[in-house]
Each structure stands twice: as structure tokens, then as C-alpha cells.
Amino acid sequence: MAATTGTDRPSVDESKGDNPMKKALTATLCDGLFSYADTDTATRIINQSLTHCGGSRAILSQVIQTQFIAGHTPFYWVVANAPKAEKSGPQYTIPPLLDQFLELCEDDLLKETKRDLMDGLLVASNDALYRLIRSKLTFLGGPTASSFFQDESDQPVYKVSPSSDRSFYFELAFNIPRFYDRILIDGEISHDFIASGTSLR
């Protein structure tokens, strides 16, 4: 397939107020940005969006990283409106539409997109989702310190929840197996988390 050029590639440029592609994509994506889309719905949204982009995954990848929906990318909206962990059962997973967005972009996730995605996480104070996609947000600086202890049974468990009586406070509960062993061998224990609209370590 020949590469498309800047003149013949579909565009959702904000300067074009009456852009048919922008309208069609927005209408399609809205089915999963402001309410939860299950796997079948997410797949339908992606397939319809590909149709608007001439079947090109590369073009759709570029388009969904454009801030063309109320000043944000689709990534922001699907994250900001994702269900909270406490309402999703004990096994929290990445929302299917976000999962397909990330798969579509693979290693081409732009720094600006990562920041917009992070903004959505902060608005929602969604620490459970943050932990699941933290590895994608490489712009945030140094990684959390790695540990010598890599067995699944040795992994710390953290849970952030809003304070029951004060809206601007939060509660952090944690269980760190082999705590003293980690201090002796690793030298430190660190953990990134989101609470009250802030990223903390």
C-alpha cells in the first residue's frame, strides 16, 4: 500500500469547523468515551472508526492522538470516564476501548498523548487503572525502584481509597511481603500512586 501524503490523508484539523470526518469519528467514538464500552462495543467502535479512516490503522492511530474532542484526545475521555475499581469487582481490568486504543498505537504513543492520558487519570483519581497502564507512561521520569524479589507471591499490594469523611483526603492501605528482606537487599521500597487528583510517590 502506498503511503498517504499530508494532502490526501484524512484529517480532523480543529481549524476545519465543518469537517465531515471529524463529525463522523466523534459520533462513533462517543459511544465508548462517556460510558463504559464492553469488548464487543469497543471492537465495533474501532472497526467503524477504521472505515472513516479508509481502513488505515496508521491514520486512526494518528487521529485518536489528536485533541479534537472538547480539547482532549479520545484517550483522555475513555480514562476520565472509566469505572472505578470499587464498582468493577475484585479483578480490575483495563477498559476494552482503552486497551484497543493502546494496541492500535503500540510503540507510537506520543508524549502529548501520554500527558493527556495522565490528565484523565488524575481527574478521575483512578489509581487502579494507573497501575495497569503505568508502563506506558514513560515520560513521568524515573521508574519505580525494581526489586530483587520478583515472585508473584512476593509482590506488594497497595490500595488507595477516598477518605470516608473528608473529600480531599485519602487512605492508603498496603501489604509488603518480606519487608525487612527488601530493605536489606533492595535498599528502598517505592510505589507510584494517584490520589485526590495528584500523582504521588
pLDDT band at 103 (very low <50, low <70, confident <90, very high): very high
pTM equals 0.71
Q: Which pLDDT score is estimated for 4?
A: 38
Helix axes 39-52, 96-105, angle to 10 degrees: 40
Of the candidates 24, 6, 116, which has an alpha carbon nearest to the alpha carbon of residue 67? 116
| Closest residue by Cα to residue 98 from 89, 86, 124, 90 | 124
Burial (Cβ within 10 Å: 0-12, 13-18, ≥19) of residue 136:
middle
For the ranges 25-34, 88-97, 169-178, which has the lowest average pLDDT? 169-178
